[in-house]
Structure 1
Amino acid sequence: MAEEPVVIELTDSGVQFSTTVGLIYVFNLIVGTGALTMPAAFHSAGWLVSLVTIIVLAFTSYVTVTFMTEAMGIANAALRAEQQGQPEEYRNVSPGTVSESSPLLQDKAGHEDSFEITHRVEMGKMAKLFFNKAGISLFNLCIIVYLYGDLSIYAVAVPKSLRDVACTYSGSGTNNSCNQTVGDKDPCWEGVDLNRDNAYRIFVAVFICLLGPFVFFNVQKTKYLQIVTTIARWLAFGLMITLTVIKLAQGKGQGKPLVGDVSGIPNLFGVCVYSFMCHHSLPSLVTPIRNKSRLNSVLGGDYVLILVFYAILSFTGVFTFAKVEDLYTLNFQPNECGRQAITHVKFFEYFLALFPVFTLSTNFPIIAITLRNNLQALLARPHYSQFVNRYLIALLGIVPPTIVAIITNQVDFLVGITGSYAGTAIQYVIPACLVLLGRRRVPELQARLGGEQLHCSPFRHKAWVYGVLVWSGLCVIFVTVNHIITRS
């Protein structure tokens, strides 16, 4: 019996959206709660050293973003070439699978479309196309550790923030909680038989019930969630910046940051090195963009906006406050223990306390969908039922993080591992390797399909690729030093 040809599994880009919407998605994914740890890091390392460092980090991250867009174009061409070589009956994949339901290469498409990003090819699929078995195994380990870790962190951080705002019990029969620590077993509210730990678990259940179902859809289905949380996020950021600018304009700024302090560099690096990371979700965010004619330039503009925003947020903070808290929103909290509050408006205080909720609630569906797509690329098979390929694998994306969140609300170790080491691979190593190996296939693909690469990285020389790999090693060293210092 003749061997059955392998069906090329493709994932549809879904409903398209404008470039502006795409940039909002990218911006929302990049600018997370990590921005709230930057002002303290700027304060410890000095404003000039911090500015130079963050510019370098933004540039290197943008370089690897362009590597990703180029690799996505090559991957689309590679799949077109593979599908051309299949019998006609295997080019259309049944709707019961996770595959595209129409031929990838339409007859009307000319050679100029061969390298266009028309179908979502996740990192997992690109790894299968370009890496050997060892590379695929290492990739799967990195992406799964990173994305599962991220989702676990989000599933803990949002309910924990909601719990901390909602629970009003401050101590044993006293209103002064300055010298008291409220534990998980303490009541959530005075006179109510519900401790803080159980209240946290209730918030975990509510969070998963509200945002978990998004894992079954495409990123486009989160459009209105993105818009609402974007407005809330910018109101929070704008409020923090406005309050500090008012203080500075009144001559009440108390901060006197150093120009530079070498001892603060490891902490600065540890905080900021992943502040421009979006690479793992680029296929889901970029593919549906309707007009990709200036994709790399537009992404570059997004990176510049994010860099400027980080600088404004951090500089206004370090020059306003004599002491910048590790989590910047704490500088805007109610007047406690004699500390002078920057605002006495209760709405502002609670609104800023809920900032992590706005930010992480936006990112959770995107990360969950990205994990689902990669799990489908790894596990889905044409002969599996739609229930397995579409629903069961999707559940594998959110069930483990939910279990972690229910068991514990302490994920410091997880943050260190996923952010420091798996994050380095996702942001630097994997994009560099994908584009390096993908470029080797370009001559063959052009000979077979014709056309030119439409999304080439402006950093074409191999030296850029090898430079990124060296940089990733330096990042690991700096972050490891930071872990050692902070835990000693």
Structure 2
Amino acid sequence: MAGEITETGELYSPYVGLVYMFNLIVGTGALTMPKAFATAGWLVSLVLLVFLGFMRVCDWDLTACLCPSKESFMTTTFVVEAMAAANAQLHWKRMENHQKEDDGDSSTASDSDSLLQDSHERAEKRPILSVQRRGSPNLFEITDRVEMGQMASMFFNKVGVNLFYFCIIIYLYGDLAIYAAAVPFSLMQVSCAIDNDSCGVEAHTKHNDTDLCWGPLRRADVYHIYLAVFTLLLGPFAFFDVQKTKYLQILTSLMRWIAFAIMIVLALVRIGRGQGQGHPPLADFSGVRNLFGVCVYSFMCQHSLPSLITPVTSKRRLTRLVLLDYVLILAFYVLLSFTAVFCFRGDSLLDMYTLNFARCDVVGVAAVRFFLGLFPVFTISTNFPIIAVTLRNNWKTLFHREGGTYPWVVDRVVFPTITLMPPVLVAFCTHDLESLVGITGAYAGTGIQYVIPAFLVHCCRKDTQLAFGHGTLNKHRSPFRHTFWVGFVLLWAFSCFIFVTANIVLSETKL
């Protein structure tokens, strides 16, 4: 399954890469999806989820874009094509450097026979290099891990690079705010249920933050106490580097799949016994705003594609494997959300779906109730330090000057502080996870999932033509190679931005 270890990491088979991508995408967003489904209606939710995941085409030419025979995830293929173009440029620079070194070595030789032999060798190399520069598919082999930030610096101008980092930073801030709110919220729900009802029925009931939890302490007070403890325990990791988390990630992935399997099975059992209480509407467009953001957030993986795809040993059928991954993820989301909305009443579904199982009539075993209730605490807590360090490093890259270094205070205090404080303040003000996920996905998520890949593939195609000539074949080019698809993605992203903003304004006006 795993092969040799190179500078790109440990190599693995395409199917292991498929599992890694599945684990990356299916995370916190999946836990907020059932409530979003119940709010927007199951039919609208299903249509939007499918549309955001796939585009239907039969021929990759513009004239045949409506024929329904094959599906592919468009912007993921855009990122893969940009990765291949970036690798081609890196490979070509290496080849040119080798040629210069060979020329330099031969010029210092004193032996005339050796000089003659070297000149013949260079003559043999140059035609090969010129052929490769005109478009050898080997140049586009994805062997180097080129992160999105590096691709942005290669294909974008200075303004584009700054906008890229701004979008990534806003998204990571949203991620951290979601994590900082989810853990204290779950702890508050479970601990208040234990205090008020030993069976845990209270965890399933809707509450106001002013309701009492521990003696004179309100639920909001308990939430803020947990938030302070969470910040004090995990916040310091933002000031250091987080490494060697492989086995911790394996453990959390195992816990995640056990939790998801338990929830799906329990919901199916209740529905099968006729105990399902959910009667979701077909459509309720007032809930589409949050649903859109949740769906975008739940399919996010573009920012991590270089780390996932580069170590794959065989990339010959990469597009098909990505397609298969999204089909499986779509099926999983539909199964989880549909069992939830038909098992529980829409008005009783909580932002964090695991908390709906903290009831004796749903789960008879106390250990399982506590495991599901505290599941977000364990899994999210392991991801928070990694995301925090990633955000801190992006801040450093954004303000980095060539050849310059940061003072110790700026490097070790200022950057970690501006990384940690904003999401903690947001979590202090609200624990509305559905809105946090919806806004993060609808704005920053739209930029990462649609806008950045579209501009990346457009710019990399122009650079490839300039560097290697017209007619160059990128072996990993997107099936959506017509310029129309780039414009379509950007138009869709702009429409989503306008729709979500108008929906928020209208919601605030009604309030």
Give the counterpart of 1:119 among 119, 140, 144: 144
Distance 2:304 2:206 in 1: 44
Residue in structure 2 matching 1:409, options 416, 427, 430 = 427
**Distance in 1 between residues matched to 2:96 and 2:413, nearest whole Å:** 34
The gaps in structure 1 that reach 5 residues or longer are 1-10, 91-106, 336-340
Question: Aligned to 1:149, which of 143, 164, 174?
Answer: 174
* Amino acid corresponding to residue 141 of structure 1 in structure 2: F
Distance 1:361 1:184, change over 3 A: farther
Q: CA deviation at 1:406?
A: 5.3
How far apart in 2 are the matches of 1:74 and 1:201?
46
| Alignment deviations for residues 290-329 of structure 1 (CA, whole Å, 9 cap, x no partner) | 3322222111111111100010111111222233514222
Q: Is the 8 A contact 2:388 2:419 kept in 1?
A: no
For residues 245 and 41 of structure 2, the distance between their equivalents in structure 1, rounded to whole angstroms, comes to 39
Asked if residue 228 in structure 1 is aligned to residue 251 in structure 2, the reply is yes
Question: 2:295 aligned with 1:275, yes or no?
Answer: no
Which residue does 1:95 correspond to in 2?
Answer: none
Moved more, 194-203 or 225-234: 194-203
> Do residues 463 (structure 1) and 484 (structure 2) align?
yes
**Residue 42 (1) aligns with residue 37 (2):** yes
In 2, Cα distance between equivalents of 1:369 and 1:282: 19
Classify 1:360/1:292 alpha carbon distance in 2 versus 1 (closer, same or farther; 3 Å): farther
Change (3 A) 1:295 1:397: farther
Aligned AA (1:282): L
Q: Could you tell me which residue of structure 1 aligns to residue 114 of structure 2?
A: none
Percent of pairs with identical residues: 47
By how many angstroms is 1:249 displaced? 1.5
1:71 maps to 2:96: no
Tell me the CA shift for residue 286 of structure 1. Answer: 2.1
Aligned partners of 1:153 and 1:411 also within 8 Å: no
- 8 Å Cα contact 2:231-2:424 kept in structure 1: yes
1:197 Cα deviation after fit:
3.6
2: distance between equivalents of 1:226 and 1:411? 30
CA distance in 2, matches of 1:18, 1:255: 42
Structure 1 residue 414, shift from structure 2 partner:
6.6
- In the alignment, which residue of structure 2 is the partner of 1:325? 349
Check 1:404–1:189 CA distance in 2 against 1; reply closer, same or farther (3 A cut).
farther
1-structure distance, mates of 2:402, 2:212: 49
Give the 3-state SS of the residue equivalent to 2:476 in structure 1.
coil
**CA–CA distance in structure 1, aligned partners of residues 252 and 377 of structure 2:** 9
Shift of 1:189: 11
Report the structure, 1 or 2, having the larger helix content: 2
Q: Report the CA distance between 1:40 and its aligned residue.
A: 2.4
Counterpart mapping for 1:378-393 below 5 A? 378=398, 383=403
1:52-67 → structure 2 map (5 Å cutoff) = 52-59=47-54, 62-67=73-78
Tell me the distance in 2 between the aligned counterparts of 1:263 and 1:462.
34
Q: Distance in 1 between matches of 2:14 and 2:211?
A: 45
- 1:149: how far off? 3.1
Distance change >3 Å, CA 372–CA 292, structure 1 → 2: farther
Q: What is the letter of the counterpart of residue 35 of structure 2? A: A
Asked whether 1:15 is paired with 2:38, we answer: no
Partner SS, residue 134 of structure 1: helix
One-letter amino acid matched to 2:349: E
Q: 1:432 aligns with which of 454, 479, 482?
A: 454
- With normalisation by structure 1, the TM-score equals 0.77
1:41-70 CA distances to partner (integer Å, 9 max, x unpaired)? 222333222212110011159210110111
Amino acid of the structure 2 residue aligned with 1:440: K
Task: Tell me if the contact between 1:375 and 1:393 (Cα under 8 Å) persists in the aligned partners.
Answer: no
> What root-mean-square deviation, in Å, do the aligned CA atoms of Structure 1 and Structure 2 show?
4.1
Taking the aligned partners of 1:179 and 1:245, their CA distance within structure 2 comes to 23
1:363-415 alpha-carbon deviations (Å, 9 max, x no partner):
44664565466556545677467xx79x9869877543333455563365875
Look up the match of 2:160: 135
- The residue identity in structure 2 corresponding to 1:130 is F
Taking the TM superposition and a 5 Å limit, the aligned residue runs for 1:291-306 are: 291-306=314-329
Distance 2:268 2:403 in 1: 61
Per the alignment, do residues 332 and 179 of structure 1 end up closer, same or farther by CA in structure 2, a change over 3 Å counting?
Answer: closer
SS of 1:260's partner is coil
Task: Please give the alpha-carbon distance, in whole angstroms, between the structure 2 residues aligned to 1:357 and 1:89.
Answer: 56
Amino acid at match of 1:422: A
Q: Write the distance in 2 (CA, Å) between the matches of 1:305 and 1:378.
A: 36
In the alignment, structure 1 residue 476 sits paired with structure 2 residue 497 = yes
**Structure 2 unmatched runs, 5+:** 1-5, 56-71, 102-125
Q: Residue type of the partner of 2:147?
A: E
In the alignment, is the contact (CA less than 8 A) between 1:170 and 1:176 conserved in 2? no
- 1:482 Cα offset (Å): 3.9
User: Aligned equivalents of 1:74 and 1:258: distance in 2?
Assistant: 47
Q: Aligned equivalents of 2:212 and 2:276: distance in 1?
A: 40
Which residue number in structure 2 is paired with residue 98 of structure 1?
none
Q: TM-score, normalised by structure 2?
A: 0.74
- Identify the match of residue 354 of structure 1 among 364, 374, 380: 374
- Whether contact under 8 Å (1:279, 1:426) holds in the other structure is yes
1:57-97 deviation line (CA, Å, top 9, x unaligned): 1115921011011111111212333455569999xxxxxxx
Report SS of the residue matched to 1:16: strand
Quickly say closer, same or farther: Cα 1:149–1:473, change in 2 above 3 A: same
1:253 to 265, 276, 281: 276
Q: Secondary structure at the match of 2:9?
A: coil
Contact 2:227-2:428 at 8 Å conserved across structures: no
Change (3 A) 1:421 1:462: same
Q: Conserved in 2, the CA contact under 8 Å of 1:70 and 1:455?
A: yes
- 2:277 and 2:194 map into 1 onto residues whose CA distance is 32
Distance 1:84 1:381, change over 3 A: farther
Matched pairs, number: 444
Structure 2 residue 322 is the aligned partner of structure 1 residue 311: no
Any idea what SS the aligned residue of 1:15 has? strand
Q: Residue by residue, what CA displacement relative to the aligned partner does 1:325-356 show, whole Å, maximum 9, x if unpaired?
A: 14222322236xxxxx4223222221121232
